[in-house]
A and B are shown apart, each in its own frame.
Chain A
Amino acid sequence: MTTAPPTMPPGLGPDAADLRQSELPPTARLGTLTLAMTVAGGVVMAAQYGRNPSLSAPIALAAAAGFVLVVNVALLSRVKAFAWAAFFRVLGWALLAYFVIAGILEFVFVFDHTPSHQLALFSVLLFLFATDVPLILAFSVARWQLLPEVDAAPV
């Protein structure tokens, strides 16, 4: 059986986008953490739907998720070498899509006359959801995009 040589053929291996990854903040991981806390808050709320619920745990989860989201955005905004055009392009479309989805869920809660405290908390969680997922998607695309000033040189 013929095997591949130990060295990579010309043109293979990490490119400029791979080499930049270590300089980027952990946006995808923090975004997933935010998402997990948001969804967990929603599960706790839904599990208590229809009775007089204790909102302490969902409020704590929403606050923590909001804090991580703000930190995430702050860390990402400090990055200079980043494909911001691609990032905002994906972010815009994803925000549109996920706010439509969140809007439908919000409509369900309003239509069902959800009590005001629960509705307010559901709304906060939906806002976090509809903001965080587009952030993850936009970052996941932009992190691998070419930077004109860095990657334009011939390889």
Chain B
Amino acid sequence: MTDTIPTDTIRTDTIPTDTVETGSRGTGTVLTDRGPTGGVDPGTGAGVGPPDHVPGPPVIPPFSIVPVRGLPIVAVLLIGLVVAISTNSLWALDFFHVGGGGLWTSIDLFVGLVLGPIIGSMSVQARVEFTTRFMPKMVLIMPTLVAMTLGAGFQLARHLGNLSAAYPHHAWLVVSYVIVAVMAVIALGLLEPANLAVLFELKKPRPNGERIGRLMKIFIYTAGVTGIMQIATIVIMTFLASR
């Protein structure tokens, strides 16, 4: 899953808020980034000159769908998780659960509510460069954080006796299960498939910009929705931790 991009000329399609058309460049996959009427600033709507004077087609830089250099870090974290579970170390379980959950929540909220609107206002070239650098990392980071958070969380709750139906706040724990379940369905059924589909689309000799825009919207919106649901989880978890 680590192909390089062909070095031929590419046609492209639309990306939200920008109109694109056929373009060519000597190297790399290219998307064009100019208005159909000769160049319109997407921010102001003002004309920015004839077609010949607008920026050239963006180039898709080479990228790996799975960043292989990150795999050893993932392996170390997962081995650490197994060790934490098998030793029932309270500190280690806390570390993986709180650390993983905090990062999971923060990344979801940051991507959905901060980065999302920023990406929407960027030029096509900037979006392409951001996407090809950002999305492969998410392929590794998010599943690892989810495994850390849930695996350590289950064991921590069992270790502390919180899983028992006799636990006074058991109902709150069940509510958190339901929230996590909904988030899991959204993340695995919509978010992660959109992430992968964008990366494979960008690997094509002729990426479809309109499709990339649609898929990126799914990614950003679902990240935001799961991030907001994470806030509910944080409320429950901090409530339980303070009892």
- Asked if B196 contacts A90 (CB within 8 A), the reply is yes
Q: How far is the CA of A39 from the CA of B87 in the complex (A)?
A: 27
Interface of A (DSSP majority class): helix
Report the minimal beta-carbon distance from A132 to chain B, rounded to whole angstroms.
9
Q: How far is the CA of A90 from the CA of B46 in the complex (A)?
A: 44
Chain B residues closer than 8 Å to A46, beta-carbon distance: 154, 163, 177
B45's nearest neighbour on chain A, judged by CB, is A1
Chain A residues closer than 8 Å to B208, beta-carbon distance: 15, 17-18, 144
- Does B216 reach chain A (CB closer than 8 Å)? no
Report the minimal beta-carbon distance from B183 to chain A, rounded to whole angstroms.
10
Chain B interface size, under 10 / 10 to 19 / 20 to 34 / 35 or more: 35 or more
- Asked if A144 contacts B14 (CB within 8 A), the reply is no
Partner of A43, one of B40, B78, B177: B177
Chain A residues closer than 8 Å to B108, beta-carbon distance: none
Q: How far is the CA of A42 from the CA of B21 in the complex (A)?
A: 48
- Does B81 reach chain A (CB closer than 8 Å)? yes
B48's nearest neighbour on chain A, judged by CB, is A2
Chain B residues closer than 8 Å to A136, beta-carbon distance: 188-189, 193
Q: In the complex where A104-B82, A136-B188 touch, is A28 in contact with B193 (Cβ < 8 A)? A: yes
Q: How far is the CA of A31 from the CA of B192 in the complex (A)?
A: 13
Q: How far is the CA of A48 from the CA of B208 in the complex (A)?
A: 48
Could you pull out 22 A-B pairs where Cβ atoms are within 8 angstroms? Answer: A2-B37, A2-B46, A4-B37, A5-B37, A12-B210, A15-B206, A17-B211, A40-B181, A43-B178, A47-B177, A49-B165, A50-B158, A51-B165, A51-B166, A93-B1, A105-B154, A107-B82, A137-B192, A141-B197, A144-B200, A144-B201, A155-B11
Query: Chain B interface (Cβ within 8 Å of chain A)?
Result: 1, 11-14, 19-22, 35-37, 40, 45-47, 66, 78, 81-82, 85-86, 143, 146-147, 150-151, 154-155, 158, 163-166, 174, 177-178, 181, 184-185, 188-190, 192-194, 196-197, 200-201, 204, 206, 208, 210-211
Query: Chain A interface (Cβ within 8 Å of chain B)?
Result: 1-2, 4-5, 8-13, 15, 17-18, 28, 31-32, 35-36, 39-40, 42-43, 46-51, 86, 89-90, 93, 97, 100-101, 104-105, 107-108, 111-112, 133, 136-137, 139-141, 144-146, 155
If A28-B193, A155-B206 are given as contacts, then 19 extra A-B residue pairs at C-beta distance below 8 Å, sorted by A number, are: A2-B40, A2-B47, A4-B37, A11-B11, A13-B13, A15-B206, A15-B208, A40-B181, A46-B154, A49-B165, A50-B158, A104-B147, A108-B151, A108-B154, A111-B86, A112-B158, A144-B208, A144-B211, A145-B200
